[in-house]
Chains A and B, each alone.
Chain A
Amino acid sequence: MIYYIAAVGLMLIGLYVLLTKHNLIKMIIGLSIMDTGVNLLLITIGYVKKGTAPIFSKTGLEPQNMVDPVPQALVLTSIVIGVAVLALALSLAIRLYQHYGTLDMRKIKEQRW
Chain B
Amino acid sequence: MRKIISFILLVIVALGIGLSLRKIPFAVPKTKVGTYYIDKGIDQTGAVNIVTSIVLNYRGFDTLGEVTVLFIAALGVGVVLATIEKKTKREIMPSSLVLSTGCKFFFPLILLLGTYVFLHGHLTPGGGFQGGAIIASGFLLIYLGCPGKRINERGLKATESLAGLIFVIIGFLGLAIGGYFLLNFLPKGIPNTLLSAGIIPIIYIVIGFKVGAELAGIIDGLMEKS
Binding site for B on A (CB under 8 A): 1, 3-4, 8, 11-12, 15-16, 19-20, 44-49, 53-57, 63, 66, 68-70, 72-74, 76-77, 80-81, 84-85, 87-88, 90-92, 94-95, 98
Residues of B near A73 (CB, < 8 A) are 51, 54-55, 59
User: Do A66 and B6 have beta carbons less than 8 Å apart?
Assistant: no
Stretch with Cβ within 8 A of A (4 or more), from B11-19, B87-95, B107-115, B166-174: B11-19
Contact status B50-A54, CB under 8 Å:
yes
Interface string of B28-55 (1 = CB under 8 A from A): 1111011101110010000011110011
B86 within 8 A of A: no
Q: How far is the CB of B98 from chain A (nearest CB, A)?
A: 32
Q: In chain B, residues 68-116, which have Cβ atoms closer than 8 Å to a Cβ of chain A?
A: 69-70, 72-74, 76-77, 80-81, 83
Please indicate the chain A residues that have their CB under 8 angstroms from the CB of B21 in the complex: 4, 8
List B contacts of A11 (CB < 8 A): 17
Across the interface, which residues of B come within 8 angstroms of A8, CB to CB?
A: 14, 17-18, 21
Q: How far is the CB of A96 from chain B (nearest CB, A)?
A: 10
Q: Which residues of B contact A (CB under 8 A)?
A: 2-3, 6, 9-10, 13-14, 17-18, 21, 24, 26-31, 33-35, 37-39, 42, 48-51, 54-55, 59, 62-63, 66, 69-70, 72-74, 76-77, 80-81, 83, 123-125, 127, 129, 191-192, 211, 218, 221-222
**Majority DSSP secondary structure for residues of B touching A:** helix
* Given A63-B39, A68-B30, A80-B66, A87 contacting B10 (CB threshold 8 A): no
Assess A70 versus B77: contact at CB under 8 Å? Given A15-B13, A47-B27.
no
Given contacts A15-B13, A47-B27, A76-B129, contact A69 B48 (CB under 8 A): no
Q: Which residues of B contact A98 (CB under 8 A)?
A: 83
Closest to B27 in A: A49
Q: Are A54 and B51 in contact (CB under 8 A)?
A: yes
Task: Among B6, B48, B124, point to the contact of A20 (Cβ < 8 A).
Answer: B6
Contact (Cβ within 8 A) A92 B38: no
Other-chain residue from B62, B73, B80 in contact with A77 (beta carbon distance below 8 A) = B62
The one of B14, B39, B48, B70 in contact with A84, judged by C-beta atoms closer than 8 angstroms, is B70
The contact of A69 among B27, B37, B124, B222, by CB within 8 Å, is B37
Known contacts A55-B48, A87-B218; A92/B69 CB under 8 A: no
Task: Please indicate the chain B residues that have their CB under 8 angstroms from the CB of A72 in the complex.
Answer: 51
Q: With A and B bound together, what is the CA distance between A46 and B33 in angstroms?
A: 12
| B40 to A, closest residue via Cβ | A63
Q: Contact at A1–B62, with CB atoms within 8 Å?
A: no
A12 to B12, CA, bound (A): 11
Flag if A1 contacts B222 (CB, 8 Å).
no
Inter-chain contact B31/A92, CB cutoff 8 Å: no
- Taking CB atoms, residues of chain A closer than 8 Å to B55 are 73, 76-77
Residues of B within 8 A of A66 (CB): 38, 50
Complex contacts, B50 vs chain A, CB 8 Å: 54-56, 66, 69
